[in-house]
Structure formats: structure tokens, C-alpha cells
Structure 1
């Protein structure tokens, strides 16, 4: 459902800019995806836990649109090493990944990527991505040579609005970074080519700052700066235009004052030039108007009360629609809802029970509704939750809307950071000047290349053996068996021989049997199925900032190793933590069975073929020898009641196909003589079933007629439950408990009173503990709440 009705009415400004009618655009259903993970750094053998949120891009409200979410782990070599298919319900889902070396997980910086099939219509810029570091504690981390050791840095200069104009005072922002993307602190001057100083340069935040310059026509200006290591470099500023317009924005008491400036030469050449101003947020125009300019300085207050929170895009155009200046601003809003998490104590003992009280209420004290995820981690471990790292607020309001990596994005949403809005403005003056994801409203083709996936789908085609023409109006019977339960559905092929079973819901592995039946109850043609999932898009992952080998990663490894040494836990990747020593119900990402498995339950007879039986000269002599009650006549086999239904690796084949097999091809033989076992195949199995399973590596004749399909399918990822010991209900284990993630809960949902209580037990590690709760309200407000407490060692331990 298009949620245009949730958007505010387009606002027309009537101030000194004349009123102009805005056209309501067609708004596509664009999804924003966010993953909250328990940490950002892991050791090989640990588990990564995530909570997935899908929202409507224009309001950030939870969006029940796509229900199939692909979550992938991409290696430093840009290869997908793990892929989870996560089931989304009402915009929420969760899952986990076991970072096992047996799955090919090695040390390095990886990318976590999440997307829906629908989001692929808008390009990979609309995918969620996040970098995580994985360390092998059994190996020494080789700290990469820091590029700052060579003092190589770059500085970019960005005139506010886009261009410098001769004689017009303009703010020029700058951003200085080292080759590894980290910010560089610089200071210096701006001078003319003749050496006259006209401005000073000082870094204000994360390598960024600004200065004011009134350029003269024809003059060249040089920025001469020195970094904190004393390395001096020079950069040439953009040349000032002889005529043109600039646009500047100043924040004052929560208001945005917009100034449009020009020079006398421009006014003389374009008297009464009609200029149009628009303000766009996430591709939607909320404010627009036009006004003839007759003075060199024209200012007004931007009416931002009806603008949504987040980045907005100001554009100044002339009467012909040509853009003259652009500026990004951040519209901050006071939220009428707060999220608070509190501990019942300030300090605890090791293995002591912790009780968290969560409260979600409006400023007036009314209970609010939302869904949140909780991560509790050892604060002494680098890469646990940092107030400056990505969080759900920084992602929805900043990182999802601006291209490129943002350094310490969480700092712009930290309420303790009193300078955060000024620092945000610097970021938008620099990084936002270069590119902006939502410059235009995303467009959806009339025929989308990628379908909306509301649930899993099993589809395929039935075609004739000769000519491959479709077979229409034929019944397709589906039997899906999953976790001891069976689902039976019938569909009919269309004029193209196609069939589709929609809205199939199952988790983990399932057995699928498809058979076809015409009006005479006969099976015919060649039955095939499509892949349930679209192939993974080629990763665009390229490590610009290679984290692995940094001092931060080295610190993570040292902290983990210190715990292992202190508690005498072996440094084995797959048995390093208490949670991995406990036998759990399912193994992550278990490989799908190759199909050599009975789909009808327990057979009457089963025979595992050895090399002794494979010495027979042909398949018929072989079968008569190994299968009791089976007789052969020439190139035909039968039971007492008549010719059986023949299955080859689960697919129905003819007697002629049986004759092409060799005893050396066969791995196992099964038979069914009772009607109950063969009932899934209908009347075709009235005389019994002869099932043969081939050896690994068998390719066979690809032109074999397959009237049925039997295979193993993997449905939604069957997410595990986070294991945390309960020391008051189980025997006091002597095994050391050195969990890095102490507790994880993907579903923290306050009740009708706006409150919920959660409890868990500390580990054996005496250290500070970080508690982070983040999520989103039903009105689309992303919230983060943090608290920290101390764990002290128990005397005598």
C-alpha cells in the first residue's frame, strides 16, 4: 500500500518568495532496511546476532511490504560466504550467523549486507551495508602500516552552495583525511598567489572546518595547511565566477535563515531575474516558490515546521530551470517520545542476576508502542557498542541518505554532544556537497525487473518431451514435508505450462515432491522447478578503509586473549566461549541434502550397494539379485502386482531410462509395496515403487523425462535462540564463562503500560558492561538508549 497519505501536505512558501503550486509526485514504495547487530567485532567461532527492521523510506514507519529479506556476509575478497533468508513480519525479523572457520570464515574485514528483491529495483545504494571485523585469536594480528606514518593526507574545499562569485562573501568548508579515510587535524591560512593572507584555517570537527572568503575577480587563492605532524601542503581554491548566485544557510534558535546573494554585475546583466527556490526531503518537494531578485542580498526564514526530520536539499534555479546553487541542511525535531533503560543496581557480582527495566512513553507520560532489540556486551572488548558508532537513528536520518562512509556517525545523534548540529552542518557542507542519494525521487519502471516477495514461492514449468512446447491445463500436485508436518496443494498449469505455489511458509529444510496428472490420471512430459531465490547480486564491496590490521582490531584480539589466559580457556576457534560449549538444537546453515533421502517415510526394503554388487554386467541382473520379490523379463521389471513406479533420485522415469543405468551408478535401492507408502504418488504407484539413488558425481542423461520432481529445499533461516546460562536454575558449572556478548534479545516490546522487564546473568568477567537498546516506534521514530554498570569479582574466586 502506498503510504502517501502518511506524508504531510506539501507546503507552499508565501514569504518574500511568491506562492507557487507544487505537483504531487508519484511516490514508489521504497524500503529502508537496517540491521542492529550485537557487536561490530568478532572472533572466528563466535556468533553474530542481528535484528532486522524494514521501514517506509519517507516516514520511517515499519513497513509490511517485502517479507523475504536477504542477509549476506561478504568476505574481503568480495565473495558472499554466508546467505540467510530472513522472514519479515510487519517490518521486523531476526537471525544469526555462526562465524565458523569450517564455513570458510577467516580473519579480515567483512561487509554485512541486507536487501529485499524489491529494493533491487532501485539499485544497491538502497541496500543496507555495514563493516564488521573478524579476528582469529589463534593467530597474531599483523598491524598494518598506518598511512599516517607517512603523513599523507588530502584536503578538499567546498564553497557553500556550489560556487564562489566575485565580490560575494562566501563560506568555504574543507575536509582533511588521511589515505585510510580517517580524519586529519590541520591548521593554516588562505593566501593570494602573491602571498597576502585573507583567512585562517582551523579544524573544528573530524578533519572538517570552514572559513569566510570574499574573492576578487581574477585572483588565485591558495590554502596552505599543516597537519598535527608538521607536514605542510597547499591546495588551490576553485576560481570565482565573474557573475552568478550563491546560497548560504545560518541556523539560529532552531530556525534556518536562507540568504541568496549575488553581485552588481549579475543584477545589471539580469535585472529582475526570476529565481525559484525548492526544498526537497527524500526526493519529495515540500517547499517551493519563486521571486524576482532586485537586490544583491535576499534572505528569508525557511518554513521547516512541516518538513520531516532528516536531510533536506535546497535548490536555487532560474526561470529556465537551470540550477545555480544547492545546499544540504539537517532538519532536527523534538521527539514526543522517550526510551529509557535502567538497571536495578549500579554494581553486580560475577554470575549475578541483572534486571533491566525498559520504559517507552510520550513526554506527557502516555505509554507508547514500539519494537526494540537489546545487546549487552563486555565493555572492555573493543568493537562492542560505542556511542559514536552506527545506530538506528544515525542510519535512518543520515547514513541511508548520504553516500560514502561517515566517520563516527553516532556522534551526530548523541544528546550529550552539544555541538552535534553544528558538526552535522559541517558534514553536509563537505561530504554532502559531493553527492546526495535522494537528489531525485526514486523511479520504478512500469515493469519492475524484480518482483515483490510477500512470501516464499515454488514455481516451475511442464513441457512436452518433443519440441519443448508447454503442456497447459494439467494438475500439479505438491507435497511439502517440513519438521514432521505435511502440506498438500494442487495448482493447474497455464497456457505457457507454468505453475506457481504462492505464499509458502516454512523454516529450515523441507522435502518437496511435485507430480503431474492429466484428466486421465496420467503423468506426462518433463516437469522442472525454478530456483526459489534470485541469485545474489554481485557485491560492490571494495575495502577503501581496511580496518583489519588496525590498532583497534589488535586491541580486540588482545582483550579476548587476555580473558582466555586469565580463565585458562583454550584458544580454539569453535570452542572458545561458554555458549559454544553447550549443545544446541540446530547447526547454522546446514547444507541441503543432495536429494538421496526417502520422501515417503520408511521404505519396506532398503539396500546400500557395495562394490561386490556393482560387478554385475547390467542393471536388470543387479536388481533381480538385490531386490526381493522383483522379477525381470528382458528390459523390464515387475512386482507380483505388476510394473512398479520407478524413481531415479526422486524423479519419475520410464523403463527405457532404467535400461541406461549401470550397477556402478547406484548407491542405494529402496522399495515400497504397501499402498500407504506409495499414496503420495497416486494411482501410478498401485503396483509398488522402485526407488534408486545414484552415487555422488553421477550426471546421467539430462534428456531423461521427469514426470515428477523430488528435492530438498531450504526455506527461511531458522534462527537460533541466544543461549545465556541461568545460574539459579542449573547446576553451577565449573566451565569458565567469558562471553563477549553477555545477552542478546531481538524482541523487546513494552506492554500496554509502556514498560517491560528483562533479566539475565553476568559472566565470570569482572569488567564494565554496556547495555544498548535500540529500535523504532510505531510512528517511525528511531530511538537508542544506553546504560553501563560494573561487575566486580566475588571474593574467593
Structure 2
């Protein structure tokens, strides 16, 4: 009888299968319209960085190389929205040590960070995002932790393990609820003090202490059991954790009248749906219409069955849906959400990749040529953008299950709540067991980008994003007199020192100018020429808006990986010609990380690349605000610094040549922008300065070779001109500036 009923229901439902254009209940149709608006007006972007090695640990002195992939929409197509990707290197105290902007081409880009050999041992984070991502309520920023060891054995203090948090366990009924007299599937997850899944065993008993189910975690603290709740009974779990501790946890109460939704993906070829109503619910809602919605990869399918039996079933071919998360929602005829279930579809639709070398054996340091072949499941060649990392697994063993691959990240890790332990386990070697464990993960850590209840009642934000994706670089600023009076109608010419097109602009009534849609690399120096207006002007550049605040990192991923010490021992025993940051003049060097904790004394604003607390001396603007010139106010206050015509130099920065002795000027940084060495700081009004930081030696090393003779970092006060950066005037009316460009 059940098979006949299932077949009849399937045929009935297939006649009512449509997407987006239903003539049903107005509330539901409004919800579908709102979903379409959400997908159209809030297109998501995701970033993934493929690093030069599968294991996330390095040695101080190495380079960290990566290729960036940016996708858009729910189908993860190469993004043509953003043209710029921002990548930050962040230390364990959430301080940005280095930031670069990568130019994207068809959703891909390349970059690297040079880790100085003075960098302390510890855990660091690499964050990647586009400006477009910041418009999303839940932005898909990419985060990857790396462990950095040191051949100098610096900072050998291991991170303290969090203590005092007992193991915990949470239960998740399939579809969101348990109903009396209906067999219910219940998933669970047990977590240890370190936030990772732990083994657990136990039983489920009713209020009469009668055992109704057994608990035995199958994978990483997760598992599933099923039983039939009875009316008037309550249930609790009695469990024993891996550390021997015990606990008793109440299960959610079963509903006396209700309906359940079950999704079964055990058979790789199909998705099986069962809708069950207990007697009380069926009697009250017999023959009423239901709405069954399937959301996947930005598409929606809707079925409208009638509740003409207490069991409804539907089988759909799995290849109806692409590989990825499937969201199944059951609603009443008037649009009231009843049940929801997330499942993961795994189709045999992955590319077949193979790598072949040009010869079987190579001599030491001989160039190796590799050929990469990509074919689809039908054996036909396909085009794509690829990257390959090569390591020696005889030295460092790699656990495939722990890798953060582009497949596991885009389709799983970024789509579920919380930390996904060993995410690649579910993809490396797919089997019946891994599929069952993946289903348990979806039951316990499922995430929904939208909530149907909000869409149905118009509470979701579906308005169009009021900004444009960042594609190029705009160079903007203002021309004013020394007293701050705008110079309007002045023609300004912009030209790169290395040559190229000549660009022209004219200042507006506020003295502002704009050069838009530029593409240039960091380190490009521009010459600006202003037309004579009879007034001597001060040219300022606007600093790009600050990036997003650094959110606290994931405490589980941030733990130091001791395998980095093994890698360091190899480097210590045999020098392999690794890239040493100190020998790469074209890279920005990172300073030695001296932060061991957040200091309460560091409470000032700073545009220092390493953040506040990384200076040899900090001078408050209040001490110099009444000085006739900035250099005059700093003279005598700035220890070990002398000034000549507004140019700062360290008294120890003496060079001796055939022509005699001379002082090397310090590098000047104003509100984060490199104003160059030898720039006069007297073009800055002392009253506009909030802090002046003097950086020497190790503290100055973050600015690379340019900071070798010291750095003076000037941060101006917040206000109308807080983002102004003073340019270096080479001669009257001719200025030189080096704005931040693409890496």
C-alpha cells in the first residue's frame, strides 16, 4: 500500500512542479518575489586562496605565495564584479601587519607575502575580501590561519590550552521538530573543551527510565539515532564523554500535533522526501494544500501536494540538482513554515585532473615541466583556470582530510555554521560512510542565507546595494593655500614618472580634483603639475577609506601547528635556498612581532603599518599644536632626530662618502600614505596632527629598505581633513606622490 501511495503522490506532484511563477497563495508568491529580489540585488562574492603548499605552516624567512579565485552568485562562477581583492596578513592579536591590493582578471589574481626571518613563532591569519563583500549582512571573507616557526627558535612559548570548559552536547531533530507517534531522526554533536568533536556514548531514556535509543558518535562527535516519541512522555540522554565525564541532557519536547519532513540521500542517484503527519494533525488538515520548496544554487522548485494521506513521498533524481547544499522547506497552504531540512548533494560531476612530467627522473635543481590535463565526466577536455602546488611528502606528511580545498571551501565550509573540522574528509574519498557523516554535519551545522519567514512577511532586506564594485583605483585630493583656502579652477596634470598618458583635471569650488579609473602598481611615482594661479598651494591626496575592522579569529583554527617546528628543523639542518625576506628588496618587510598581549597603555590612533604600540617614541599632537612649524615643535621632543628645512633625519643616520659626511633623511608616512624620503613635514599644519611616531631599527623594518634610516609616522586628527596626505613638492607647482596601487 505504501508503494502505491508513493507512486500516486509522485505523479500528482510532478504535474504541479514549477519554479517562480505560481498562482498559489499571495503570501507565498510575495516571498518568492522577495527571494528573487534578494538574489538579484545582493549577489554574493566569495574568495578562495590556493597557497603554494597543502599544509598551512611556514618558516620565518620564507615567502607565502598564493593564487586567488573570486566567484560570484550561488553557482560560483568566476566573478566579473570586482576588479580588486584586498589581502591582509594579521597576527595573533588581530593587528594587520601587511595589506596588499591585487588586480583581478576574470576572477583570478596572484600575490605573496614575504615573512622576515625575524618574525616570531606563532599563528598568523591571512584574510581576503573585496569591497563588494562588505555590503553583505554576512560577508564571505576568506580566512586562513598559518603557523610560522623560526630557525632562530624565537618565541617558543606555546599557546595555553583553554581549560575549565566542560564537554557539551546538542540535539537537532530532523526538520526542526519531533512529533508524537512518528519515527523521528535526531542528530547530535558532542564538543570538547577545545571546541572539536569528541567521542561520546550513551542512551536515550524516557521519563520512566526506559531505554528508547542508543548513542554512539560515528564521526568527530556527530551521529544520528531515531525513535518514536510517545504522547505524554519526555526524553533525556545519559552520555559519557571521551574524558570519562558524564552528563544528562533533556531532548526537545515532542509536539502532540504536528507534521515532519525527512530527506534521505543515502542512495547517490536520488533524493527521497517523506512528509508524515500524526493522527491529530492529519485529521485537522486533511486534503489541505502544502507547499514543498527546493532551493539550490540560486534556483527554486515548488511542488503543491495535497495532504490526502498521513504519508506523502517523492523521489527526485539527484542530478536534478548541482553538487552543493540543497534547502528543502515545507510550508502550509497559506505560507506558514512548518519544517526545513538542509542536505548535501554529491554528484559524480567533478573534473578529472591529471598531471604528467616531461621525464621520469630529474637531476638536482633541474627545471621540471608539468602538463595538466582537465576533462569532464564524459572524458571531454575543458577549459579553466588552474593552479598547482608541489611539495615533498617524504619530508612532511599531508593529511588530505584536513586540507582546505577550493571544493570543500566554496561548497561546504563557507555554507555552514561554525568551524567544519576536516572539511576535505567529505570530498577526498567519497564513500557510503563519508556521505552519511556529511548528512550528519548538515543536520547539526546547517546554515541558511535567508529565512523563509522573513521573506514571506517582507522582513528581509532585499533592496539593491547602493554602491558599485571596486574595479580600479581613483586618485583624488585637494589644492589649497597654506591657510586652508581652496584654490578653485586650477588645472592639474598627472603623469607617471616612468612615462605614459598625460591626464588632466581641474579643481572644483572646494579645490578638489579627481583622476578616475586608474590602474598602476604600488611603487609607481607620479608627477603632478599645477597651473600657476598666483597663489602658492599645498597639494593633498585623499587616503583610501580604511578597511573593515579585524574580527576576532576562530579560536579552533588559530592554534599553533607544531608541524611547523618540524619544517623549521629541516631548514636549520639544510639550507635549501629559500627566499629570505631580508634579501628581497622589492617586497615589503614585516617587522618582528613583539606583541604578547593587548596593552591597556596603547590607546592612541595610529597610521603605522604595524598599528599602535610599535614605535620607539610617540608624541601627542597636543604637545606641538601651537608650534609655528611642525619641525620646530618636534625639535627637541623627538629623541635622536634632527631637522633641516623640515626634513627629518636620525642623528645616527650618517653616511660617509668621498664628498664628505651627510645625514640620510627618514621616510615620511602621513595617514598611511608613503610621502617619500626627504619630504619636508612643514607643509603639515601642527594643529592638524594627532600623533607623531618615531620608528627606528626593528620597528622601522616593516617599511622595508625605505625605512632603513628610520620612519616618522604622522597621523592627523579626525575631522574634515583627516584623510589629507601631503605630497612632496619638488619645485614650485610640481609635486611628487606615490599612492598605493595594485601589488
When normalised by structure 2's length, the TM-score is: 0.71
Distance, in Å, in 2 between the alignment partners of 1:588 and 1:68 is 19
Task: Describe how 1:480-629 pairs up with structure 2 within 5 A.
Answer: 480-481=496-497, 484-493=498-507, 498-517=512-531, 527-531=539-543, 533-545=544-556, 547-549=558-560, 553-562=561-570, 564-565=572-573, 567=574, 577-580=577-580, 583-584=583-584, 586-588=586-588
Q: Secondary structure at the match of 1:485?
A: coil
Aligned to 1:716: 742
Of residues 259, 266, 269, the one that matches 1:254 is 269
Q: Secondary structure at the match of 1:372?
A: coil
String of CA shifts for 1:478-522, please: whole Å, max 9, x gaps.
2332xx33542002345665432122122131223334438xx65
Distance, in Å, in 1 between the alignment partners of 2:337 and 2:378 is 45
Of residues 224, 245, 259, the one that matches 1:210 is 224
Of residues 400, 403, 408, the one that matches 2:417 is 403
Does the Cα contact within 8 Å between 1:121 and 1:444 map onto a contact in 2?
no
Task: Describe how 1:83-482 pairs up with structure 2 within 5 A.
Answer: 83-100=99-116, 105-123=119-137, 125-137=139-151, 138-139=153-154, 141-142=156-157, 152-251=166-265, 252-282=267-297, 284-302=298-316, 305-335=319-349, 337-343=351-357, 351=365, 354-380=368-394, 386-415=400-429, 417-432=431-446, 435-437=447-449, 439=451, 445-446=463-464, 448=466, 450-462=467-479, 471=488, 473-481=489-497
Aligned to 1:767: none
Distance, in Å, in 2 between the alignment partners of 1:712 and 1:554 is 41
| CA gap 1:49/1:182 in 2 versus in 1, 3 angstroms | same
| CA gap 1:696/1:308 in 2 versus in 1, 3 angstroms | closer
Quote how far apart the aligned CAs of 1:159 are. 0.3
Does the Cα contact within 8 Å between 2:165 and 2:193 map onto a contact in 1?
no
Does the Cα contact within 8 Å between 2:269 and 2:319 map onto a contact in 1?
no
Does the Cα contact within 8 Å between 1:652 and 1:709 map onto a contact in 2?
no
String of CA shifts for 1:243-283, please: whole Å, max 9, x gaps.
1221111122421111111211112333433321111125x
Distance, in Å, in 2 between the alignment partners of 1:86 and 1:159 is 45
Quote how far apart the aligned CAs of 1:353 are. 5.5
Aligned to 2:615: none
Using CA pairs under 8 Å that are at least 6 residues apart, name the structure with larger relative contact order, 1 or 2. 1
Does the Cα contact within 8 Å between 1:509 and 1:712 map onto a contact in 2?
yes
Distance, in Å, in 2 between the alignment partners of 1:240 and 1:561 is 58
Does the Cα contact within 8 Å between 2:295 and 2:301 map onto a contact in 1?
yes
Q: Secondary structure at the match of 1:425?
A: helix
| CA gap 1:386/1:460 in 2 versus in 1, 3 angstroms | same
String of CA shifts for 1:367-409, please: whole Å, max 9, x gaps.
3211111211232555857343110111111112222111111
Distance, in Å, in 2 between the alignment partners of 1:13 and 1:338 is 39
Does the Cα contact within 8 Å between 1:477 and 1:490 map onto a contact in 2?
yes
Quote how far apart the aligned CAs of 1:547 are. 4.7
Aligned to 2:51: 37
Distance, in Å, in 1 between the alignment partners of 2:262 and 2:130 is 39
Distance, in Å, in 1 between the alignment partners of 2:376 and 2:18 is 36
Q: Secondary structure at the match of 1:212?
A: strand
Distance, in Å, in 2 between the alignment partners of 1:418 and 1:53 is 31
Which structure has the larger Rg?
A: 1
String of CA shifts for 1:551-584, please: whole Å, max 9, x gaps.
xx2243134315523x3x5xxxxxx854339954
When normalised by structure 1's length, the TM-score is: 0.67
Q: Secondary structure at the match of 1:394?
A: helix
Does the Cα contact within 8 Å between 2:292 and 2:304 map onto a contact in 1?
yes
Distance, in Å, in 2 between the alignment partners of 1:363 and 1:463 is 64
Distance, in Å, in 2 between the alignment partners of 1:215 and 1:614 is 83
Does the Cα contact within 8 Å between 2:269 and 2:318 map onto a contact in 1?
no
Quote how far apart the aligned CAs of 1:548 are. 3.3
Does the Cα contact within 8 Å between 2:400 and 2:428 map onto a contact in 1?
no
Of residues 80, 87, 96, the one that matches 2:96 is 80
| CA gap 1:714/1:340 in 2 versus in 1, 3 angstroms | same
Does the Cα contact within 8 Å between 2:13 and 2:305 map onto a contact in 1?
no
String of CA shifts for 1:329-367, please: whole Å, max 9, x gaps.
112233274211234677767656644332112344433
| CA gap 1:87/1:590 in 2 versus in 1, 3 angstroms | farther
1:15 matched to 2:14:
yes
Does the Cα contact within 8 Å between 1:122 and 1:444 map onto a contact in 2?
no
Distance, in Å, in 2 between the alignment partners of 1:317 and 1:276 is 5
What is the Cα-based RMSD across aligned positions, in Å?
4.1
Does the Cα contact within 8 Å between 2:122 and 2:149 map onto a contact in 1?
yes
Q: Secondary structure at the match of 1:190?
A: strand
Aligned to 1:783: none
String of CA shifts for 1:454-478, please: whole Å, max 9, x gaps.
111112245688896783x543322
Aligned to 1:602: none
Does the Cα contact within 8 Å between 1:344 and 1:356 map onto a contact in 2?
yes
| CA gap 1:614/1:412 in 2 versus in 1, 3 angstroms | closer
Does the Cα contact within 8 Å between 1:650 and 1:709 map onto a contact in 2?
no
Distance, in Å, in 2 between the alignment partners of 1:219 and 1:110 is 51
Distance, in Å, in 1 between the alignment partners of 2:715 and 2:358 is 64
Does the Cα contact within 8 Å between 1:153 and 1:179 map onto a contact in 2?
yes
Q: Secondary structure at the match of 1:393?
A: helix
Specify every segment of 5 or more residues in structure 2 that has no aligned partner in the other structure, as ranges.
1-10, 23-31, 592-606, 610-634, 646-677, 686-710
Moved more, 264-273 or 236-245: 264-273
Q: Secondary structure at the match of 2:426?
A: helix
Distance, in Å, in 1 between the alignment partners of 2:110 and 2:416 is 26
Aligned to 1:53: 69
Quote how far apart the aligned CAs of 1:145 are. 6.4
Task: Describe how 1:756-767 pairs up with structure 2 within 5 A.
Answer: none
Does the Cα contact within 8 Å between 1:377 and 1:385 map onto a contact in 2?
no
Distance, in Å, in 1 between the alignment partners of 2:63 and 2:492 is 41
Does the Cα contact within 8 Å between 2:86 and 2:129 map onto a contact in 1?
yes
Distance, in Å, in 2 between the alignment partners of 1:13 and 1:312 is 22
Distance, in Å, in 1 between the alignment partners of 2:644 and 2:86 is 48
Distance, in Å, in 2 between the alignment partners of 1:474 and 1:151 is 66
Distance, in Å, in 1 between the alignment partners of 2:585 and 2:643 is 39
Q: Secondary structure at the match of 1:500?
A: strand
Quote how far apart the aligned CAs of 1:19 are. 5.4
Does the Cα contact within 8 Å between 1:281 and 1:438 map onto a contact in 2?
no
Does the Cα contact within 8 Å between 2:285 and 2:307 map onto a contact in 1?
no
Does the Cα contact within 8 Å between 1:15 and 1:300 map onto a contact in 2?
no
Quote how far apart the aligned CAs of 1:59 are. 2.1
Distance, in Å, in 1 between the alignment partners of 2:643 and 2:67 is 52
Distance, in Å, in 2 between the alignment partners of 1:540 and 1:614 is 40
